Amino acid sequence: MTENSMPPADHLANPPQPALRLHRELTRVWSNAPGIRGVFTAVNHSTIGLRFMCTALIFFGIGGLLAMLIRTQLATRKGAFLDTEIYNQIFTMHGSIMMFLFAIPMLEGLAMYLLPKMLGTRDMAFPRLSAFGYWCYLFGGLILIGALLMGVAPRDGWFMYTPLSGSTYSPGINADVWLLGVTFVEISALAAAVEITVTILRMRAPGMKLTQMPLFAWYILGAAVMMLAGFPPLILGSVLLEIERAFGWPFFDPERGGDPLLWQHLFWLFGHPEVYIIFLPAAGILSTVIPVLSRTRILGYGAIVASILGLVFLSFGLWVHHMFAVGIPHMALAFFSAASLLVAVPTAVQVFAWIGTMWKGRPQLKLPMLYILGFFFTFVMGGLTGVMLAIVPFNWQAHDTAFVTAHLHYVLIGGFVFPMMAGLAYWLPMISGRRRIKGLGELAFWTILVGFHGTFFIMHLTGLVGMPRRIDVYPDHPEWEMLNLVSSVFSFVMTFGFALFALDCILQAWLGKHARRDPWKAPTLDWAMALPPPAYNFASLPRPDMTGSEYAGGAEVALTLARGEGVLPGAPRGHREVLVTGIGHASPQHVAILPANTALPIQFAASIGVFVLMMLFGLYYVALAALLPVLWFAWRWARALVPAGSVPPVEIAPGLQLPTHYDSAATLTGSGLACFLFANGTFFASLIFGLAFITLVSPGPAPPPLEGQAAVSAMLIAGGLLAAALASLVPGRALKEVSEAGSPLRLIAFGLAANLAALAALAGLAIWQLGDPRVHAQTAVRAALLGYVALQLFITAIFAAFALDQARRGELAAGHLGALRHWNLWQGYTLAIGAISAAVIWAQVLSQ
């Protein structure tokens, strides 16, 4: 079936079945394992999404407690509550927890929980990856919290500027905890971004066109793509700084040709888009809840999608506005100042669309709407101070003062926390299956609102009278004391409000009366199911006549689907089956059989955790050995996807059969790999940026002359490229061979050998020609580039080895192409980045 060949809706209808029988059949297949086993083996999106959200809220509580300690310390000018060392750790951990352990995981959890329900499917595209991401998040978060409890938490601010975070000024493991812990956590962000992207593009219910899907999905798609592009620079920066701290490669050391500004560039290349990564899902909640509670449709669907598009791109052109005070030439300042002003336009378009929606509808002042009004009041003020900070002269005046702290809290609490609480109030009846207890939520809202503005509005003034951020005492500035005291008092009011909110949620889940179906009368698919939702979401999947607009769903649809009258009813084959559809029109393409409950995700994440801990404790050789279990679990992960035998096509409606993903070309795995390669490419581009920056812009001493002989270097580079080029011919030819029923064993073995030969050439280049990477930043960044190419070659060799194993087992046949297609993709990427790296290194050498 091609992308555009959509069968008529009545051809996709199945005869009605007893709803209870279908429910039992599906529950048996889709439920988590019972008891403690279920804790470690669950992969279901509702479970994992809830785990993400609950864990994020616990971390939010911890971060909030740290904020209270900060405010207690600052309430008086000679505060003796905390000493400077502990204060530094606390404000660093407050920011890091709120950003990396609360905001991002919270949005990931909400997206994982809601997306399949909104899109009319039964799970995310890669359930094991969801679970793996959760365990990485939990283990990474525990490393950070454990360090805090032991008094060795990071203390250099949540953006970890060098040289303060370098080994000279931050000896000990404090900074390493941040670099390794946060990077571990970010694995989960990348995993979530890949599967969110693939789920939205490939798993929408039949007929749900991209231009008709719920706006929430557009927002989450935008955020996921931004995560794919935004997190790699941070991961690169963290890796480089950890290498500098552990092995002395001087990427950021100006005395050896490095530049601390490179860290700032890499950090803010992530850090500013991060603000929009957090804001977009929150705006998605607003665009979903506002029309429902205004009893109307959203105004300007197309304009909002265009605004999301604008934000996704423009937010990557603003990062330098965090660096206006570092001495950047006027023209560069002007570029980024202009982009910072421009980004207010798409945000304003959305704000006007939301106001217009409320204007044309009949808004109901229910609890979610209160939080939405709180959002408007707060976020607009935060946006306006953002426009002030985009103006360079004002920025210089307010730089590093409490004004900036106030601005960022207005944007983040206004733009993320208020909408998220609106969302929780809106979806909690779905999640808990219970109604809320009236009155408590309203009291919590007003307490939070008053407490927040009392704390942070005053903080603008504190900043304008000159108080720098991150100081623990101010004995010589009595004029700041009253302002700080007022902020501190109101901050406790705000905390009390958040405690009330938490109590409201707990009481609702515990004592609330059972909620009726679709309590908001929402016209979307997420409410077209029983409350709380069953593990499988839909007994049968929605048909095109149920998804023809962004307003699908309703009670009629819920009953029809529960009786199995949609597509792919029940689970008669005992598998977790979902429908994979085309990107544009969502026409059915094949049936994917998703993996069932498994402990592999926690085992895989734990093996990475051991590696991270070994690195943290400086046991580098042991860390190297700890990579072996990581490889073992990665291999098992892939092996678990290989079918035991042939899998027959699946009848999704009477007379309409579709192949399973084992016999299909455009699989979810292929799409996921393409997304991952996009993130990988961003990582590579950031590394090239780092090399260019250190070569062209960094001040400091000239690099030492090259140690090796140019002719030998050229031969090794040419040899490595030739081997990689030969290897890149293999997967395609092997695919052809398999399709023609031939045996590709020797061909694949040649491909593996060619990749290993390319790896050997790189090793030769590193050992004999490169020079000591500890001597100068240019040598170090060159070595980092070679290391990156070597890693890609190594992964390519693993692909080849896997394909070889499949060929040896006789698992490759026409229609069953195993790992060959994915190897082909990775091999092509590796050849491309190898060629670019060779050219770049050559240009760098010539520039010397």
Partner 1 sequence: MKGRGLLWLGLVALGPAIWAAAFTLVYALHGAGCAAGWAGIDAGPVSLHRLLMLLGWLAGITAGGWLLLRLPAGKDRETWLPRAGALIGLFATLFTLVPVLFASSC
The residues of the shown chain that bind partner 1, judged by CB under 8 A, are 2-4, 201, 209-211, 301-303, 305-306, 309-310, 312-314, 316-317, 329-335, 338-339, 342, 346, 582-585, 692-693, 696-697
**3-state class of 824 per DSSP?**
helix
d(CA 44, CA 363): 35
Token reading at 175: 């900074």
Q: Between β-strands 588-594 and 576-581, what pairing exists: parallel, antiparallel or unpaired? A: antiparallel
215-240 in b/e form (b: 16+ CB < 10 A) is bbbbbbbbbbbbbbbbbbbbbbbbbb
| CB of 211 vs partner 1, minimal distance in Å | 4
| CB of 61 vs partner 1, minimal distance in Å | 39
Q: State the maximum Cα–Cα separation within the chain, in Å, rounded to a whole number.
A: 85
Pick between residue 2 and residue 80 the one whose CB is nearest to partner 1. Answer: 2
| CB of 386 vs partner 1, minimal distance in Å | 16
| CB of 320 vs partner 1, minimal distance in Å | 9
| CB of 575 vs partner 1, minimal distance in Å | 27
Pick between residue 204 and residue 409 the one whose CB is nearest to partner 1. Answer: 204
d(CA 592, CA 541): 14
* Residue pointed to by tokens 């700084």: 241
* Residue pointed to by tokens 């064993």: 745
Residue type, 11: H
Pick between residue 4 and residue 741 the one whose CB is nearest to partner 1. Answer: 4
- Residue 330: which of 385, 396, 374 has the closest Cα? 396
Pick between residue 342 and residue 836 the one whose CB is nearest to partner 1. Answer: 342
Pick between residue 310 and residue 708 the one whose CB is nearest to partner 1. Answer: 310
| CB of 305 vs partner 1, minimal distance in Å | 6
Pick between residue 343 and residue 730 the one whose CB is nearest to partner 1. Answer: 343
160-193 in b/e form (b: 16+ CB < 10 A) is bebbebbbeebeebbbbbbbbbbbbbbbbbbbbb
Query: Exposed, middle or buried, 194 (CB in 10 Å: 0-12/13-18/19+)?
Result: buried
Token reading at 319: 């990062």
Pick between residue 135 and residue 316 the one whose CB is nearest to partner 1. Answer: 316
Pick between residue 117 and residue 202 the one whose CB is nearest to partner 1. Answer: 202
How does DSSP classify residue 705? P
The answer to whether 612 touches 181, Cβ cutoff 8 Å, is: yes
How does DSSP classify residue 581? E
| CB of 692 vs partner 1, minimal distance in Å | 8
Pick between residue 149 and residue 331 the one whose CB is nearest to partner 1. Answer: 331
| CB of 212 vs partner 1, minimal distance in Å | 8
d(CA 680, CA 788): 10
Pick between residue 331 and residue 702 the one whose CB is nearest to partner 1. Answer: 331
d(CA 825, CA 677): 9
Rounded to 5°, the CA angle 4-10-12 comes to 60
| CB of 237 vs partner 1, minimal distance in Å | 18
| CB of 582 vs partner 1, minimal distance in Å | 6
| CB of 209 vs partner 1, minimal distance in Å | 7
| CB of 336 vs partner 1, minimal distance in Å | 8
| CB of 36 vs partner 1, minimal distance in Å | 43
Rounded to 5°, the CA angle 254-258-260 comes to 75
- Residue 234: which of 773, 690, 806, 790 has the closest Cα? 690
| CB of 330 vs partner 1, minimal distance in Å | 5
Phi, psi of 716 (to 5 degrees): -65, -40
* Residue pointed to by tokens 């004592």: 511
Pick between residue 280 and residue 305 the one whose CB is nearest to partner 1. Answer: 305
d(CA 358, CA 290): 7
- Residue 513: which of 443, 441, 433, 444 has the closest Cα? 433
**3-state class of 652 per DSSP?**
strand
Token reading at 417: 């926390």
The answer to whether 664 touches 589, Cβ cutoff 8 Å, is: yes
| CB of 265 vs partner 1, minimal distance in Å | 11
d(CA 147, CA 722): 48
Pick between residue 490 and residue 683 the one whose CB is nearest to partner 1. Answer: 683
Task: Give Rg (Cα) of the chain.
Answer: 27
Cβ neighbors of 59 (< 8 A, separation 6 or more) are: 97, 101, 102, 105, 141, 145
Pick between residue 13 and residue 208 the one whose CB is nearest to partner 1. Answer: 208
Pick between residue 78 and residue 330 the one whose CB is nearest to partner 1. Answer: 330
Cβ neighbors of 438 (< 8 A, separation 6 or more) are: none
Pick between residue 130 and residue 197 the one whose CB is nearest to partner 1. Answer: 197
The answer to whether 208 touches 547, Cβ cutoff 8 Å, is: yes
Pick between residue 330 and residue 438 the one whose CB is nearest to partner 1. Answer: 330
The answer to whether 360 touches 299, Cβ cutoff 8 Å, is: yes
For 569-645, list the strands marked E by DSSP: 576-581, 588-594
| CB of 225 vs partner 1, minimal distance in Å | 9
| CB of 335 vs partner 1, minimal distance in Å | 6
Pick between residue 164 and residue 832 the one whose CB is nearest to partner 1. Answer: 832
* Residue pointed to by tokens 């140690």: 707
